[in-house]
Amino acid sequence: MKPVLLLIPGMLNDASVWQHVLPLLPPDWTVRIANVLTQDSITSMAEDAWQLVADLDKDQPLIVAGFSMGGYVAIEMLANDNGRIHAAALMSTSVLAETEESRIIREKTIAAMQANFPKVVEGILKFNTHEASLDVIDFLRQMQLAIGSDAAIRQIQALMARSDHRAKLATLRLPVAIMCGEHDRVTPPELTRHIQACMPHASTTWVPTGHMLPVQSPAAVSECLSSLWKTTLSS
């Protein structure tokens, strides 16, 4: 039985962040994409994501893949799973809890967004990408400006209040794939090493790019997901 793949976008991303990944996935997979733009907490995002797959038969294989903030949502789902998830991919994300330092940075970002959102978006574009083409930058800019500051601020506040699920994750034995850009400045490689320490059985793929893996490295993302499914079949 072929899997249902649930893709969860990151902060200031809509479904189009996966647009270059989708054509590269096995054609017989069923893909559903969560919406993370309207909720005010990671828990609510996870609850809505669960609703997207609530109609599935209990034997239907389910792969959950979260990118960036979507990785936090995937982690929330894993921490509260009753065996429904068969495999998971965590891309450009972290298992660590919010720190006082990161909280201060996020509060400053919220203030800056309230003052001049387009200017903040330009800073995000530079920080999130590595050697990106003008087409990639323009695509990301249009997507983020269209999503707007209200959704962005809600997402930042949700990130600040997220739970620490490391103890639960350490008990999981389902197949997990981790991905990180070698030049990621948002969730740098050191944060991926914390995921590895928490889930030592997981496979890790390092990609020679920055944070925006689905946009800048869609082939690597699709290959990672396909390999994860093969691992699931053999486990």
CATH at 193: 3.40.50.1820
Residue 118 domain-assigned?
A: no
User: For the chain, how many structural domains are there in total?
Assistant: 1
* pTM greater than 0.75: yes
Distances (CA, A) of 17 to 3, 57, 92, 101, 209: 21, 28, 14, 29, 16
Taking the CA atoms of residue 219, residue 223, residue 226 and residue 231 in that order, the dihedral angle to the nearest 10 degrees is -160
Q: Span 37-57, mean pLDDT? A: 97
> Which range of residues forms the domain containing residue 72?
4-98+157-234
pLDDT greater than 90 at residue 215? yes
Residue 122 domain-assigned?
A: no
Q: Span 11-25, mean pLDDT? A: 98
pLDDT greater than 90 at residue 167? yes
Residue with the two structure tokens 């940075």: 105
pLDDT greater than 90 at residue 235? no
- The arrangement of strands across the sheet holding 176-181 comes to 30-33, 4-8, 62-67, 87-91, 176-181, 203-207
Distances (CA, A) of 98 to 13, 117, 137, 208, 210: 21, 23, 28, 27, 22
Residue 115 domain-assigned?
A: no
Residue 215 domain-assigned?
A: yes
Residue 5's H or E segment, with its range, is strand 4-8
Q: What is the structure's pLDDT at 1? A: 83
Q: How far apart are CA 214 and CA 191, in angstroms?
A: 19
